Chain A
Amino acid sequence: MDDARERFSELVALHQRRASRIAYQYLRDAAEADEAVQDAFVKVFSHITSYRETWPFEVWFTRILINGCLDRRKARARRDRWFVSNDVSSADEARVSSVGGGVGDPERALLSRERRAKLAAAIDRLDGRQRTVFTLCHYGDCTPREISAMTGLNESTVRVHLFRAARKLRGLLRGKP
């Protein structure tokens, strides 16, 4: 068991960055994304016997991760209906705002932050399936075939969703509804 844990720990190190990226794009909250990633890895380890090698490990893992993220999104939407919505923590915001601009270039940093905020808002406006396939393709580095395996959608349907998501994003980001 300890040997299995050690080997799995190596697997975690291999996939955690990509997993965190996907979870963050879904949840837009670092702490929640962190928890989602942890939960997904623990879940996968607990159910490792049910893994079939038809698909690569990351396909199986990503599917579990996405389901976890979707559950969290649903729970958050429910919470927001009843309570005050959670904003992105100030620490995350500070970290994110420092990206894209040097210390001596506040204008560039501001523009970059605005662009990212617009992008996040536009992705959030995508239809659920479009958002999933788009996130997996562009932030999870998955091919349409892998996305098809993860989501259970037909590969051609995945391609259609990808195209529509890209078209909608372009429209939203360039000021066209």
Chain B
Amino acid sequence: MILPGHPYHLQDERLFECYLTERSGELIDPPAAEHLTDCASCSERYADLVRFMESVRTDGESEANAVFTPERLRAQHQQIVRRLEQVGRPARVISFPGRLVRRTITASAGRTAPRWIAAAAAAGLFIGVALGASYEWNPLLHSSRPSVARSADASRPAYLAPVATRGSNQAAVAEDDAFLSDLEVALERPHTRELLAFDAFTPHVREIYDRR
């Protein structure tokens, strides 16, 4: 390739080929090698290319080496060996706990139990529905229901009725309020002894509200 201002120069592709050839330990083809010796510009370009490629290579390698330390590689090797031990071996059957195994073995015997349970539940439901229906349709029982209800009202225990408390007394209510107020003030007050004096001089929000 002829570049402007220069009689003859190697193309970038050719320089790269030279780099690859040299890297693989082979000799660069004689014309190119000769040119690189003679032409300072191409020689500089080639040196720049080699520098760049080598920096890329060493950066990548050092990064990978930092991550894959000898310890990590050793652990990786051990893990691979462990995995290789499993290759070609028949699949391991994990034994279930004894109780479960027994249950599985006697599954045919156990299968009868749910049938009995289902039958008993169905029978119970049927009897319940039948009794309920007969109760609803029995006119004697139907007519006697209000009296039963009445008797139930009459026999209601006394503890359900409202009990007279101290709340009805106005003085007692005021006393309770004062107690609760004191409690709130005590909770709002600082717990540090040194601050109690300051607290005594400063007005409280509660007091301001009371004045209003």
Chain A contacts to B: CB under 8 angstroms: 1, 5, 8-9, 12-13, 16-17, 20-21, 24-25, 30, 33-34, 37-38, 41-42, 45-46, 92, 95-96, 98-100, 112, 115-116, 119-120, 123, 137-139, 143-144, 159, 162-163, 166-167, 169-170, 173
Measured CA separation A163–B69 after assembly (Å): 31
> A99 to B60, alpha carbons, bound, how many Å?
11
Cross-chain contact A5 with B81 (CB below 8 angstroms) = yes
Q: How far is the CB of B32 from chain A (nearest CB, A)?
A: 15
Given A16-B76, A24-B67, A95-B66, are A5 and B84 also a contact pair (CB < 8 Å)?
yes
Q: Output the least CB separation between B83 and chain A (Å).
A: 5
With the chains together, A24 CA to B61 CA distance in Å? 10
Q: Which residues of B contact A16 (CB under 8 A)?
A: 73, 76-77, 80
Q: Is B87 a contact partner of A45 (Cβ separation < 8 A)?
A: yes
Q: A21 contacts which of B20, B24, B61, B80 (Cβ < 8 Å)?
A: B61
Q: Contacts of A21 on B, CB cut-off 8 Å? A: 60-61, 64-65, 68
**B87 engages A42 (CB within 8 Å):** yes
Within the complex, what minimum Cβ distance (angstroms) separates B15 from chain A? 9
Rounded to whole angstroms, the CA-CA distance of A46 and B69 in the bound complex is: 27
Q: How far is the CB of A45 from chain B (nearest CB, A)?
A: 6
How far apart are A174's CB and chain B's nearest CB, in angstroms? 9
17 A-B Cβ contacts within 8 A?
A1-B88, A5-B84, A12-B81, A13-B77, A24-B64, A24-B68, A30-B68, A38-B79, A41-B84, A42-B87, A46-B88, A95-B67, A96-B63, A139-B64, A163-B17, A166-B16, A169-B56
A109–B49 Cα distance when bound, in Å, is: 24
| A122, B17: Cα distance in complex, Å | 22
Most buried by A among B12, B16, B17, B60: B60
A163 and B13 contact, Cβ closer than 8 Å, known pairs A5-B81, A116-B59: yes
Q: Are A98 and B83 in contact (CB under 8 A)?
A: no
**Is B53 positioned at the interface, with any CB of A under 8 Å from its CB?**
yes
B34 beta carbon closer than 8 Å to chain A = no
- Verify B80–A12 contact, CB threshold 8 A: yes
The answer to whether A42 and B80 touch across the interface, beta carbons within 8 angstroms, is: yes
* Chain B residues, CB < 8 A from A37: 76, 80
Which residue of chain A lies nearest to B83 when distances are taken between CB atoms in the complex? A42
* Chain B contacts for A13, CB-based, 8 A: 77
A38 with B57: in contact, given A9-B81, A99-B66, A163-B16 (CB under 8 Å)? Answer: no
Q: Which residues of B contact A17 (CB under 8 A)?
A: 68, 73
**Given A5-B85, A25-B64, A20 and B20 touching (CB < 8 A)?**
no
Contact: A38 with B16, CB < 8 Å?
no
CA distance A92 to B72 in the complex (A): 12
Chain A CB within 8 A of B52 CB? yes
| Complex-state Cα separation, A20 to B69, whole angstroms | 11
Alpha-carbon separation in the docked complex, A83 to B82 (Å): 33
**Cα–Cα distance between A38 and B80 once the two chains are bound (Å):** 6
How far apart are the CA atoms of A38 and B76 in the complex, in Å? Answer: 7
Contact of B66 among A1, A96, A144 (CB under 8 A): A96
